[in-house]
Structure 1
Amino acid sequence: MSDTSSSFNKNAHSLQSWWEDAQLALVFLTRIPWTIKGELPANALNRAVRAFPAVGLLVGALGACVFGLAQGVGLPALACGLFAVLSCVLLTGALHEDGLADVADGFGGGRDKARKLEIMRDSRVGSYGVLAMVIAVGLRVSLLGGFEDWTLAAGALVGVSAFSRIAPVLMLYTMEPARTDGLAAKMERPDQTIVWQGVALAVGVLWVCVPFSALLMTLIVSGAALYAFRKLAQSQIGGHTGDVCGASQQIIEIVALAALAAQL
């Protein structure tokens, strides 16, 4: 990628700018050792958030391939789901799962805002965090294993993986930072156009991957869940953090999978 900073400022709607954003989002959200050449401006991630669903599409595609291979060799449905979820977790380095665990520990164990934020910053995982991760993984595995047709499960995994990656972007856009330091606090609020581009990409991928008959209810249920979690985060710590953003992805992935599993 050449002359990144100039194209970042002048050609935000060009294919080159989308490619740049996709690369930065890939590096930020996964463990793939991709090297970005050129100098990035300080606000690069604020625009790259629109490409988060594209990275989710890649993560979900890997999980779907693993799910299909496991199904092909005759493994039980729950084992297929477990291998699929495991592959996604390995690709992302459990980035969002870690956020969910920290939020569970902070919200569950802190008496006030300061203590909650302190617990969330602690690298150690407590009882609430362990339970949250076990439940989150267990729900995703069981939901994937519950689809009658494995192709529906694979499609749902791809679509939901992309769709759920817009949740952190919406949290950044609709909330103020809960603390004055940290990556989430240093990021500026994403531009409205950038957010809507990301939303369109997320919903578009979900639309392609799942039956249209199940789309509307999935969007409604997921929107309600994200709104409820946003209200919870606001009441608990007064805003967003990186952990809150990561947890929002996990919540929407689980809720969207559940909505699809109930309809298909």
Structure 2
Amino acid sequence: MIKSLLSAFLMYSRIPMIQVEWKEENRRYALGWFPLIGAVIGGVLLAWRLFCTYFSVSQFLFAAVAVIIPVLVTGGIHIDGFCDVTDARSSYAEREKRLEIMSDPHIGSFAVIRVCLYLILQTALFSQIDDVRSTAVVSCGYILSRSLSGLSAVTFRCAKKDGTLQDFVRPSYRSVTIAMITVFGASASLLMLFINTIQGLASFAAALVSFWYYRKTAYKEFGGTTGDLCGWFLQICELSVPAAAVFAGIMMEVLL
């Protein structure tokens, strides 16, 4: 269990960890621990919000750093997946060609355009999140997004027989991994609802809609999921959650 935890953080984060040998028995429960990386991101984001509130830091600076935090923690691995999938989908090629494009280490113009628009929109959304409770709801979203992503990795059909994702899926004890992911995801969802029922419900619904869209896209356009698609979904989900929280907050102000 401990070695699987370390393997998850070594692969999906840039947080310094004790090195463990890269072998299957050390990755059996790695995907089950994946949501904990989201907990670290959410914790850092919440701490940054508290700091900004206490020292009256400008909302724009809060938003800019809030967007940077996940990239610093993960090293941008999921944004890389977002870019690869964007290039593949923008090609409108056949399924095999799309999978080939995703494996290409180079980045295309469509990916550059989309990721710039993504970061601008995400910064704008965080500029509207100006209180601790809303930030806490969004912070839980980082756990939920990774819970759903990990769940898809072990339950969705795989589009390729090899790759980084298969290195984690193939040796995993699926029943235990699914149970771990479910506990993390359910805990994050309940916490979101406890912190702010309306914003939590809206954010949870947005995550589920993103998950449905992800599965539909993965099966229709790629024949299943891949590591890049898991990263692409994470980015979509982590844009949808703050968008839902902001929208719900605005509606609460209007109605109340």
TM-score > 0.5 by shorter chain:
yes
Aligned to 1:3: none
Whether 2:47 is the aligned partner of 1:47: answer: no
Whether 2:113 is the aligned partner of 1:131: answer: yes
Displacement of 1:40 in angstroms is 6.5
The TM-score normalised by the length of structure 2 is 0.85
Distance in 2 (CA, whole Å) between partners of 1:185 and 1:201 is 22
Displacement of 1:36 in angstroms is 3.7
Displacement of 1:82 in angstroms is 1.0
Structure-to-structure mapping, 1:149-160, within 5 angstroms: 149-160=130-141
Distance in 2 (CA, whole Å) between partners of 1:253 and 1:203 is 17
Aligned to 1:29: 12
Contact 2:4 2:28 in 1 (8 A): no
Distance in 2 (CA, whole Å) between partners of 1:43 and 1:129 is 36
Which of 208, 211, 223 does residue 196 from structure 2 map onto? Answer: 211
- Identity across aligned pairs (percent)? 23
Distance in 2 (CA, whole Å) between partners of 1:233 and 1:86 is 27
- Specify the code of the residue in structure 1 equivalent to 2:197: F
Whether 2:94 is the aligned partner of 1:121: answer: no
Q: Using a 3 Å threshold, how does the CA distance of structure 1 residues 257 and 196 change in structure 2: closer, same or farther?
A: farther
Displacement of 1:81 in angstroms is 1.1
The TM-score normalised by the length of structure 1 is 0.83
Whether 2:218 is the aligned partner of 1:220: answer: no
Distance in 2 (CA, whole Å) between partners of 1:72 and 1:109 is 48
> Structure 1 unaligned runs (5+)?
1-16
Give deviations 1:110-131, integer Å, cap 9, x for gaps.
Answer: 4111221121111111122112
Q: Using a 3 Å threshold, how does the CA distance of structure 1 residues 83 and 100 change in structure 2: closer, same or farther?
A: same
Which of 179, 199, 212 does residue 196 from structure 1 map onto? Answer: 179
Would you say how many aligned residue pairs link Structure 1 and Structure 2? 245
Which of 50, 55, 58 does residue 68 from structure 1 map onto? Answer: 50
Contact 2:3 2:26 in 1 (8 A): no
Aligned to 1:12: none
Displacement of 1:206 in angstroms is 4.0
Contact 1:145 1:153 in 2 (8 A): no
Aligned to 2:71: 89
Give deviations 1:184-223, integer Å, cap 9, x for gaps.
Answer: 2343276134213212212313432531343334323321
Q: Using a 3 Å threshold, how does the CA distance of structure 1 residues 190 and 96 change in structure 2: closer, same or farther?
A: farther
Structure 2 SS opposite 1:125 = coil
Distance in 2 (CA, whole Å) between partners of 1:121 and 1:254 is 24
> Structure 2 unaligned runs (5+)?
250-256
Distance in 2 (CA, whole Å) between partners of 1:190 and 1:235 is 28
Distance in 2 (CA, whole Å) between partners of 1:125 and 1:40 is 28
Displacement of 1:63 in angstroms is 2.4
Aligned to 2:245: 260
Displacement of 1:41 in angstroms is 4.8
- Which region of structure 1 is more displaced relative to structure 2, 239-248 or 113-122? 113-122
Contact 2:12 2:77 in 1 (8 A): yes
Whether 2:83 is the aligned partner of 1:101: answer: yes
Aligned to 2:217: 232
Q: Using a 3 Å threshold, how does the CA distance of structure 1 residues 190 and 131 change in structure 2: closer, same or farther?
A: farther
Contact 1:67 1:81 in 2 (8 A): no
Structure 1 SS opposite 2:27 = helix
* RMSD (Å), alpha carbons: 2.2
